[in-house]
Structure 1
Amino acid sequence: MKLQHYLGGLEGLPEPLNLEKRVFVEDWEQRIFGIHVAMMGLSNHLGAALPQYPIDDVPTSFKDEWTWASLRTGAEAMNPFDYFKFRYYEKWLGGITQFFIDQGYVTEDELSSRQAELAAEQAPSAPEPEAAIDDQVVDYLRKGDSPRRDVAHPKFAVGDRVRITNVPAAAHTRLPGYLRKREGTIERIFEGDYGYFVHTGDGIGDPMPIYIVAFSPDELFGERAEPGALTIYAELFEAYLEGVQ
């Protein structure tokens, strides 16, 4: 499993993590956040989302699907050395840029040319967006969209013992590395079957139940676990669980 997928439970990191408390460190990071939100508000999956949006009628040239899962996939697919070298929104910038290149919206040469224009302060002014595009993005910001597609159809029940699978790691996963092959107890079942929009290659994507699974520190960390009445909870897709005989 790639190291950057999940740092929880790891020992021997070279130094304590520096937790930046500012939401945006530099002004350009706000623009990256805005681009991501606009892409989500214009994503073509919204026509089938809850609530359904008239996305086919919006006069935008963006005709692809973009969700949080898309952003995470792009960031976590980075080379591990680059992933740890860059700050949070630098990872966003890398993932979004690569997406636009891969989908043919822009070429690397065009990006280089644009960078030269900006460096020389000769960049042309951006065209004003159509009102219908703005209206769709604002509507999305107000209403959001839900990955829930049905009532829950769980394979497991509250109180069941389950083992976490050790599926091969894909470019992106929602399975914390330190939980693999560990056993826990179903604490709660969420009310619906939820899709993940992106098929990650390790079992999730199509709608399925999500569970809260409780683990004892001893199960996860053995004799290294800290003493006391502690319980660790994780929200996990059903594809990551298997029954304990």
Structure 2
Amino acid sequence: MKLQHHIGGIENLGPVSLDTRVFAEPWEKRIFGIHTTMMAESAHLADALHAYPIRELPTGFKSNWTWASLRTGAEGMQPFDYFKYRYYEKWLGGIAQFFVDAGYISAAELDEKSAFYRANPDAALPDRPNAALVAQIDAYLQKGDSGYHEPERAPRFATGDTVRVADPEPVDHTRLPGYLRNRTGKVEAVYPGRFSYFVSTGVDGVGQPMPVYRVAFDAAEIWGPGKSEPNTTLYADLFEAYVQAAI
């Protein structure tokens, strides 16, 4: 979550959109459906806690695709482009680039298909998913891909501890909001068990399953007393890799 993604407290970014619609345009529903189907077919589900028959699934999609994949694509955008495009336009760009990079389709083929459907908006779309894939999508939507693991050791911190958020080296994808780096808060809760993320973030620190904490921050500690409403608390769920003892 780099600068352009978690922008709490940054000024002069223009008016805030108050549009509460989940989908502002009909085509956005299709993008969401494509992403969901890719997650349900993701090769990593062969080793998920719930036993999915991924290896026997009749599909040509053989890659890993998770929320992390989608977010990594968006975070790789040039910041000015990020602010220019709508939410699902960013999804569309990231998904399309993934299919090109992974070799499922060439950039030229994608341009050709795009031009065809722009010129023929009523043309028939590719076949619908087969019955086995439909069943897999339904199962995934109901059971998901849990990141929960049984505990192996006691968490480093306990409820009530004062902690300081780490400032790790920037990486392609992180689960640490930028505005919390180096901020001090108090552990509000320690979630039972350990939790993993979809991918390792490398030197950022999130890899093997680890405890997760709910940390409470005084808003003034983050944005300063002049830019915060009094008596306001912000809560963040943080992997243990991002939490340090307060000095």
Which secondary structure state, in structure 1, belongs to the residue aligned with residue 190 of structure 2? strand
Counterpart residue number, 2:132 = 132
Which secondary structure state, in structure 2, belongs to the residue aligned with residue 215 of structure 1? strand
Per-residue Cα deviation, 1:31-89 (whole angstroms, up to 9, x for no partner): 10000000111111112212121111111111111111111111111111111000000
Does residue 188 in structure 1 map to residue 212 in structure 2? no
Judge which range, 194-203 or 34-43, deviates more. Answer: 194-203
State the number of aligned residues: 244
Counterpart residue number, 2:148 = 148
Unpaired runs of 5+ residues, structure 1, are none
Q: Is the 8 A contact 1:5 1:173 kept in 2?
A: no
Counterpart residue number, 2:222 = 220
Q: Is the 8 A contact 1:77 1:171 kept in 2?
A: yes
Distance in 1 between the 2:16 and 2:65 partners?
A: 30
RMSD: 1.9
Which secondary structure state, in structure 2, belongs to the residue aligned with residue 157 of structure 1? coil
**Residue 124 and residue 113 in structure 1: after superposition, are their counterparts in 2 closer, same or farther (change >3 A)?**
farther
Letter in 2 for 1:200: T
Q: Is the 8 A contact 1:8 1:176 kept in 2?
A: no
TM-score w.r.t. length of structure 1:
0.92
Counterpart residue number, 1:238 = 240
Per-residue Cα deviation, 1:133-184 (whole angstroms, up to 9, x for no partner): 1111111112222111223742211121211111122222221111111111
TM-score w.r.t. length of structure 2:
0.91
Residue in structure 1 matching 2:208, options 206, 224, 234 = 206
Unpaired runs of 5+ residues, structure 2, are none
Does residue 174 in structure 1 map to residue 175 in structure 2? yes
Distance in 2 between the 1:90 and 1:150 partners?
A: 38
1:1-245 map, 5 Å: 2-10=2-10, 12-121=11-120, 125-151=125-151, 153=153, 154-201=155-202, 202-226=204-228, 228-245=230-247
Distance in 2 between the 1:127 and 1:230 partners?
A: 52
Letter in 2 for 1:8: G
Which secondary structure state, in structure 2, belongs to the residue aligned with residue 5 of structure 1? coil
